[in-house]
Amino acid sequence: MAEKLLKVAGYIRVSTPGQAQEGESLSTQTDQIAGFVKAKGWKLVKQYEDRGLSGAKADTRPGFMAMIEDAKKGMFQGIVFSRLSRFARNTADFLKYQKELKDKGVSLFSLKEGIDPSTKMGEFAMKLMSLFAEWERETIKEQMHDNKLARWRDGRTFVGKPPFGYVWNGEAKRLEVNEKEATIYREIVKMYAGLSLSMKDIAIKLGDRGLKAKKKPFSSVVISDILKNSAYYGHYVLNKYVYEDGKRMDGKKDKKLKPESEHIVFEIPPLISKKEWEAIQVKTDFNKTKSKRSSYDQKLYWLRDLLVCGECGGTVKPHHGANRKDGSFPRYYSCYWAMGNGKAMKLAKNHKCDLPYIRAERLETEVWNAIMKPYLFHSGSFKGGTWIPSKMGELLDSSHYDKAIKQMGKTVESLQADLKKLNTARERIFDLIEDDRFDKNEMSRRLNRNKEETLIVEGKIKEARQKLTQAEEAKKNDVLYREFLKDKKGVLKKLAADLYKLSPDDMKRLAEGSINGKVKLVLGYDETKDTEIAIPKLEASSNMALLKQLMEEGKIGKFFSKDGSHDPSGYEF
């Protein structure tokens, strides 16, 4: 076959503008091709070239495509190039055009790889390529999976179903907020974190309205999955588990956590702040572990499961003394390790706690006073079960938030500029891939460093945005408080009286919805009695949504109507 070849074409290519301008690589390839053709005794009828173009895709190279068209017209019987990577950078392109050219009687000659049909080595190489094509067809499914995973990891596609509240925009290649579902999600958060409704009750309420989570009916399990999903503060983690069949007796798949390096993280528009999400997780964990007993005497202890010992970290539990003749009994709270037995302490390698027993009435009054302050805006205090109002203080001033909001806005802008620079730098690194003189190890080192710096900046941007949102929300709340004080200051005394008359269950509900974390009990000293006492330390905030819910349930606010019936319409937050 080779002896009959008279006409051949040459093809040269360089991938960077610098190489194209200097012409060194082009001239080297030209000399190599000319020498080979001369040694074979063939005629070089034309040379095709592409300057400063990547070889990633053959159809983006005009010189290459012109050569293919001329070959199909019979202008030459062979194409010579310095190495396979000059002709095609991927197997798919090589096999495609090699077959098209072979059908037209055109052979390929690669100088470096020695693909020359006129030699034994060239014949073997062609057979090897055919074998490789067969192998490629057998493994196409695996390649498609890998490609799909790569596109998923890069955010170019989405595998599976988006979380409730989001939808995949295939054109824009991103997850976007589904406003209708997002509204329902915020309702779920409000009912659970704000109104302290159980997951089952939330599911029932949504089901009564005919609502569904995508196509699935709401249930306590669905609500739990939604509340635990970190996607809602903008951090959506996928590809976390590998599932195995036949591991369980019920036939369901067992899942095993994959290494963190294989996890796929989608940065998506948040529906709540990370702080709000973390508070939900704390509440969820708390609800899992809190006491399930519902006897009457346990219900009297509305601080149960809300107390922790500040001395040893143990749980503070309720208990009561011996029954009196009238059937009543003294109530106490005490640290588990203050009353624990010796064996339990030995097993836990703990010692007896010094926190004294606390009379329930005293502790509950102190904690309730602290909880009520945010609701009544420090306008008085309970003394002997009676609310004593104080003079209305100055209205809250929200101007101090403006400076913080402005500063955080500048921080976000600055970090976004840094991120843009890092993205530009990464693109420049990738532009060097086609440069044969570029050190691949150096490229890898630069890309890794760029990735690390990008992750750090992205983390700072997320944190700054969260702080900005928190400052804006705090300012908004202060404005609401100020308006509330202006319009409703005359009813604070009556509101306080109603709040103090709540049942233990409702007091517990309001306490759980208002206390940030738990109440820490620490040792203090009572000079009047010359003895050590337990002092409660807590942080509480007003929960206006829960307060309004109690009004709608008729638990407070009946004084708004002349006949004393329930009419919360005159009390808006």
- 381 catalytic? Reply is no
Q: Is 40 exposed, middle or buried (0-12, 13-18, 19+ CB in 10 A)?
A: middle
Residue whose token pair is 């630069």: 446
CA distance 28 to 31: 5
CA 326 from chain centre, in angstroms, equals 58
On the CB side of 78, how many CA atoms lie within 13 Å of its CA? 25
User: How far is it, in rounded angstroms, from Cα 88 to Cα 211?
Assistant: 55
Measured CA distances, 323 to 203, 303, 344, 568 (Å): 42, 21, 27, 41
Which residues are within 8 A (CB) of 113 and not within 5 positions of it... i.e. 6 or more apart? 83, 84, 125
Output the CA–CA distances (angstroms, integers) from residue 426 to 35, 133, 447, in the order listed.
40, 34, 7
3-state secondary structure of 292: coil
Q: Are 570 and 560 in contact (CB under 8 A)?
A: yes
In whole angstroms, give the CA distance from residue 22 to residue 81.
Answer: 20
For the CA atoms of 266, 270, 272, 276, the dihedral, rounded to the nearest 10 degrees, stands at 40
Length of the chain: 573
**From the candidates 15, 85, 107, 110, which is the catalytic residue?**
15
Residue pointed to by tokens 């609401």? 480
d(Cα 390, Cα 399) in Å, to the nearest integer?
A: 25
The H or E element that residue 125 is part of is: helix 120-138
The residues, ordered by sequence, that sit 6+ positions from 436 with a Cβ below 8 Å of its Cβ are 25
Residue matched to tokens 């890092």? 422
Q: Report whether 505 contacts 302 (CB < 8 A).
A: yes
The HSE-up count of residue 523 (CA atoms within 13 Å, CB side) is 11
Catalytic annotation, residues: 15
